Structure 1
Amino acid sequence: MASGGGQSFLDKFAEVSAKIGNQVHLRSLRDGFATIMPIYILAGIAVLINNVVFPLFLTDDALAAAQYWGNAVTLGTLSFAAILLCGVIGYCLANNKRFGNAIACLVVSICSMVIMFPQTLTTAVANLTYAVSSGDSAVASQTLDASVLGATADTISYTGDVTGMISTTNTGANGLFCAIIIGLVATTVFIAFSNNKHLQINLGEGIPPAVGKSFSVMLPMLITLSIFAVFSALLQGLFGTNLPAIISTAVSAPLMGLMNAGPWAVIVIYTVANLLFCLGIHQSTISGVLAEPILTMVIVENMALYAAGEPIPADHYMNMQIINSFALIGGSGCTLMLLLDTFIFSKHKASRDIAKLSILPGIFNINEPVIYGYPIVYNIPLMIPFVIVPDIFIAATYGLTCLGWISPCVVQAPWTTPPVLSALLSTGMDWRAAVWQVIEIGIGMAIYLPFMKVSEKAQQHQLELEQQANEAAGHAQAA
């Protein structure tokens, strides 16, 4: 009875968790981040080459010229990531809702986000020029004389309001939360208007499909963008603010503060996520929705700071790369350690056969063969280390980073990067991080080993019971 009740609870827990993870807006958020992940990886490679590789053999002017390449990549990826994410989330939400014109949702999302940006920026400007004579093109502008501002020639600058500019503060890592909210809201509003047949313009047959789709959503698009423009005007006119500033203060700062207050929130999320994986539901259903977007924003900010040569603040030590490099060695649950234990200590033929098939994917952090083939799913002894080993490594790596024993993660390396190399890349080639990852492998093997032996004994016992049952059935038939 207790077993049945426990099983019923696990089934209900898995069912509710799956429904949460598959909710259309959350699924679209996860899909959106997965879609633009390659640009973060490219940015990480560029940052690493700019700040580690080029300085090894280039100096002064040659270094600055070479780093222009990496700076260009950063500008087109990290500094523009929020705009891209906003559009992609709109596109993914449209696809997940089976809306027939997903590309229009991408356009609406990006336009809506830019509409909500402030039209005037307060900024410091150096190397100023000013118009001398609008009618004389030969002297259209000159460098502003220092005496005008009462400053020395080499420190001349001016702080004031500038129009016709968009700040990378809003388009880059700091604008990702704004991109998420606007992408989801703008697309939802646009789809609602588009489904109203009275707002659809039908040009009839015989016109190109792209033109027909464009006219069909013209009025919904105009209405949606107008609503966002009115909202933007009201925020500025009544309160002197804008939506990105509000979201940054009221949403992104508290959530990032929760994740960066220590490892505990992340540990709780990944404990639940890995427990679900043991019940057959992929861990990304939970972690991919609740943790990865926020932790990805932090590592993106770290890359931008590292590219600019600035120190990484302590509240940015917990980020997605700590998870990928140090808590997912061999995949979810750090199952590479289980495979190594199996090769060295196991005498169970079935386990060794699965390990032979799984070791190569495991080196590249792909472990579905282990999850479902070993198996770990519904295997109580192996569920325990599968859940606790990543938690230990999250806490330990965060602690070592806080102590300064390993460098903070500053590069988003591909999640398929093998161990040791992933630690080097993610920390800007800190050899101490690679040593720590090797130590992690040893610790993980030590934790997995007794549970592996218990699992094998349980499997052997189950096999013996099945053989006895088969023999009993054979005797009964013979009699």
Structure 2
Amino acid sequence: MNTFMEKLENVLMPVADKLNNNRYLSALRNGFMVALPLIIFGSIFVVIANLPFLDELIGEEAFATYQDALGPASAATLSIMGLFVILGIGYKMVEQREGESIYGAVVALGAFLILTPQVVDEVGGVIPTSALGAEGMFLGIFTAFIAAELYQHFVNRKLTIKMPAGVPSAVARSFSALIPITLTLAIFLLVRIIFSYTPFETVQNFIYTIVQEPLTALGSGLPATIVAVLLIQVFWFFGLHGQIIINSVLDPIWFALNDQNYQAFQAGEELPNIVTKPFIDTFIVGIGGSGMTLAVLIAIFIVAKSRQMRELGKLGIGSGVFNVNEPVIFGLPIIMNPLVIIPWLLAPVVVAIVTYFCMSIGFVPRTTGVVVPWTTPALLSGYLATGNNIMGGVMQLINMAIVFVIWLPFLKIMDNQYYENERTAK
């Protein structure tokens, strides 16, 4: 067992280290973190705008007026979340190079807007909001990477205007960025012109057809989801933050799928996707943290005889309710503990399969595109993520029961060992 663990560690640790230190994935991850408060703000108002039974209480006409009044909150955040991600990525890319990061943000945004179609129903000068959301997500990510790199390259080549001493620093920085930004945006304008003569007509159509659509279709399936969940658990087992590593790669796909559901929900249409960002965060991670350890803590309270286990339960339950589970991960412990590797890997995978099946048959509604804050307690988070539907909370309760059953025999074995050790020590 130890030999196998050592071999697995030797394979995974270098991979995880490279992923963690990759500056593109780091900028992507941090770019989404920049956008997250705005995404959550919009999600909160989607929930408020769709409170259950409110239309029956105040009447359909008043309810429509109420929704119209709150609509801009989500339209200005969730519907155009791609813009905030682009700004975040451009900022972080240049910040990594110790450059003027604010210009990294604006050049990334400017390059994206140059490549974005500006015609709606043959009316020019109008940008469709869909192009600023899910459809434009991958184009925005690639554009932000390339634009920030080009900008910083021109800066490093000293292609800047130096103002004389005494000129205010804000003015000097603005002129210093003028040539690098001009050259960068000119390149993207040339790319737009070239693509206008191709069958795709726009870069966005090209990216969506060649890259985003196939990747999104792959990421929306159960097999890819199982692999992602399993890798999160494996990385955590070796002491690496599995969520950060895997989310860096898959968040663009999961958020794009989520935005598709949100657009369908707003239009009153059938929700197209089962796997979304909230599917992962709310029904797997959001039940006590990675590994769904809230159910583990409940099992500890029920079966634990050893003082070590009981103290761990008391220490972890408060934070576990809000999906913070470091006390369990480091206190049980889970990291590098062969006694827990089977339930640690198995339980989230089983939960992912069961949840996917229940949503596919309509037992539980699919997630509506609302991004629930990750500290929201279980049952409430499931209710909110499924459009204020109680079955979302029921699904989380079922998932907790699955984790409880899988972990119980292993916890009993560990607890007996700890109890015997404590008796021997007396």
Using the size of structure 1 for normalisation, the TM-score is 0.84
**1:89 is the counterpart of 2:89:** yes
Aligned residue for 2:49? 50
Hey, what does 2:333 align to over in structure 1? Answer: 375
Q: In structure 1, how many angstroms separate the alpha carbons of the residues matched to 2:391 and 2:397?
A: 10
Shift of 1:447: 0.9
Matches of 2:256 and 2:288, distance apart in 1: 24
Find the counterpart in structure 2 of residue 432 from structure 1.
Answer: 391
> Partners of 1:298 and 1:289 in 2: how far apart?
16
1:452 aligns with 2:388: no
Aligned residue number for residue 137 of structure 2: 176
Q: How far does residue 382 in structure 1 lie from its aligned partner after superposition?
A: 1.6
Q: Which residue of 1 aligns with 2:373?
A: 414
Q: Deviations over 1:369-388 (max 9, x none)?
A: 21112211111122221221
Q: Distance in 2 between matches of 1:428 and 1:32?
A: 27
- Flag the 1:272–1:301 CA change in 2: closer, same or farther, 3 A: same
Asked if the contact 2:34–2:84 (Cα under 8 Å) also holds between the matched residues in 1, the reply is no
Residue deviations 1:415-473 (CA, integer Å, cap 9, x gap): 111111111111112222222221222221111111112233455677899x7xxxxxx
Q: Equivalent residue for 1:196?
A: 157
**Are the counterparts in 2 of residues 90 and 183 from structure 1 also a CA contact under 8 Å?**
yes
- Residues 101 and 463 of structure 1: CA distance in aligned 2, closer, same or farther (over 3 Å): farther
Pick from 180, 185, 204 the counterpart of residue 225 of structure 1. 185
Contact 2:233 2:344 survives alignment (8 Å): yes
- Name the structure 2 match of 1:395: 353
Aligned partners of 2:322 and 2:376 also within 8 Å: yes
Tell me the residue number matched to 2:320.
362
C-alpha distance in 2 between matches for 1:214 and 1:462: 68
Does the CA-based 8 Å contact 2:195-2:202 persist in structure 1?
yes
Quote the residue 1:319 is aligned against.
276
Bigger drift between 16-25 and 414-423 goes to: 16-25
What are structure 2's unaligned runs of at least 5 residues? none
Aligned to 1:236: 196
1:186-335 equivalences in 2 (<5 Å): 186-197=147-158, 199-239=159-199, 241-260=201-220, 262-313=221-272, 316-328=273-285, 329-335=287-293
- Structure 1 counterpart of 2:114, one-letter code: I
Change (3 A) 1:19 1:459: farther
Give the Cα separation in 1 of the matches to 2:168 and 2:233: 49
Name the SS for the 2:51 alignment partner: helix
Provide the identity percentage.
32
Output aligned runs, 1:130-169, within 5 Å: 161-169=122-130
Q: Is the contact between residue 202 and residue 212 of structure 1 (CA under 8 Å) also seen in structure 2?
A: yes
C-alpha separation between the residues in 2 aligned to 1:396 and 1:9?
28
In 2, the alpha carbon distance for the partners of 1:232 and 1:311 equals: 35
* 2:305 equivalent among 344, 347, 350: 347
Spell out, residue by residue over 1:164-193, the C-alpha distance to the aligned partner (whole angstroms, 9 max, x if none).
Answer: 111112112221111111111111111111
* 201-210 vs 396-405, greater mean Cα deviation: 201-210
Equivalenced residue count is: 423
Q: Distance in 1 between matches of 2:420 and 2:114?
A: 66
Question: What whole-Å deviation, never above 9, does each CA across 1:319-366 have from its counterpart, x for those lacking one?
Answer: 111112211210000111111111111112122212211111100111
Q: Is the 8 A contact 2:305 2:416 kept in 1?
A: no
SS at the partner of 2:80?
A: helix
- Which runs of no fewer than 5 residues in structure 1 stay unpaired? 124-160, 468-479
- The amino acid of 1:201's aligned partner reads I
What SS does the aligned partner of 2:333 have? Answer: coil
Is the 2:119–2:128 contact (alpha carbons within 8 Å) kept by the matching residues of 1?
Answer: no
Moved over 3 A (4+): 2-6, 237-240, 456-465
> 2:21: which partner in 1?
22
Offset of 1:243 from its aligned partner? 0.9
Q: Counterpart amino acid of 2:293?
A: T
CA distance in structure 2 between the aligned counterparts of 1:370 and 1:458, rounded to whole angstroms? 17
Distance 1:93 1:57 in 2: 50
On the 8 A contact 1:78/1:304 being kept in 2, the answer is: no
Aligned-partner SS, 1:173: coil
Code of the residue aligned with 1:249 in structure 2: it is T
Distance change >3 Å, CA 367–CA 44, structure 1 → 2: same
Asked if the contact 2:380–2:393 (Cα under 8 Å) also holds between the matched residues in 1, the reply is: yes
